[in-house]
Chains A and B, each alone.
Chain A
Amino acid sequence: MTFSIYSALAGGALIGLAAVAMMATIGRIAGVSGILANVLKPASALHWQWAFVGGLLASGLFIHWLVQPVVIQVQSSSVMLVVAGLLVGFGTRLGSGCTSGHGVCGISRLSPRSLLATGVFISFGVLTVFVLRFF
């Protein structure tokens, strides 16, 4: 697989721009797992939370069907996807954040909690991929 430093940096900059826009306009952290969890509680979900999740979904739909197909290669079995989904859902709530909230927004504020959480989830991700090599 080829690697393009420019698209990586440009894509990252767009993610950062979105995080800064959220803070500048409504004063909130762009943490996907926390926002999604709130949207899943319709009684207390706020408009901006619906809108943010709507924007994420709309971007994928729009680009994939109207601009160019988005390449997504899933190599995990269905059982692995279910286990992974359960762990990601439960773990991001227990740990109060994921790659966006801790990894981008939290580290940008030099939050010790986010720095630690990011170190932990990257380490366990590396470990998991390493262990999977033996299966």
Chain B
Amino acid sequence: MKGTLSAFIAGAIFGIGLIVSEMVNPVRVIGFLDLAGNWDPTLAFVMGGALLVTAIGYKIVLGQPGPVFSAEFELPKNKIIDRKLIIGAAMFGIGWGLSGFCPGPALVGLGTLKPDILLFVISMIAGIKLFEWFGERRAG
């Protein structure tokens, strides 16, 4: 219960961070990616602020015996650099450049009830499901 509440609060803080930094606005994101145009450095500072806090915070937290409301830290164990990682990141980058949306800002932006964002989120969900469908077919 406490863990669930913490995750809700963390999600809300995350969303407020995306709003305060204007990363919910795709024009800002595309402005950062547009090196040949009127470059907008905002995203670099948002990332810098986030990395500074997370790097220091993780250092402190991961030095503890475990998380407060759960048994243990669960960090990604996969260390293999493969084609899937690179092709997946490339596909994501193309979609990100086309729209200026990545998953976090898209979910936060849904709150404005703008049809464009709903269209993006439904398509993103379709993309996730398509991946799972392909994965199951290959495994089966």
Residues of A at the B interface (CB closer than 8 Å) are 1, 3-5, 7-30, 32-33, 36-37, 40, 47-65, 69-76, 78, 80-96, 98-100, 102-109, 111-113, 116-118, 120-130, 132-133
Contacts and interface: CB of A to CB of B under 8 A. Distances in A.
A89 B102 contact: no
Interface of B: 2-28, 30-31, 33-37, 40-43, 45-55, 57-58, 61-62, 64, 66-76, 78-81, 84-104, 106-112, 114, 116-117, 119-132
Given A59-B108, A85-B122, 17 more contacts: A11-B22, A21-B9, A24-B67, A25-B68, A26-B70, A62-B12, A70-B24, A84-B98, A89-B128, A90-B130, A93-B128, A105-B54, A120-B93, A121-B89, A125-B93, A126-B97, A129-B35
A49 to B, nearest CB: 7
- Per DSSP, chain A at the interface is helix
In the A-B complex, the 6 residue pairs with the closest CB atoms: A55-B11, A89-B127, A11-B21, A95-B88, A60-B111, A85-B123
A40 B14 contact: no
Contact of A26 (B3, B76, B126): B3
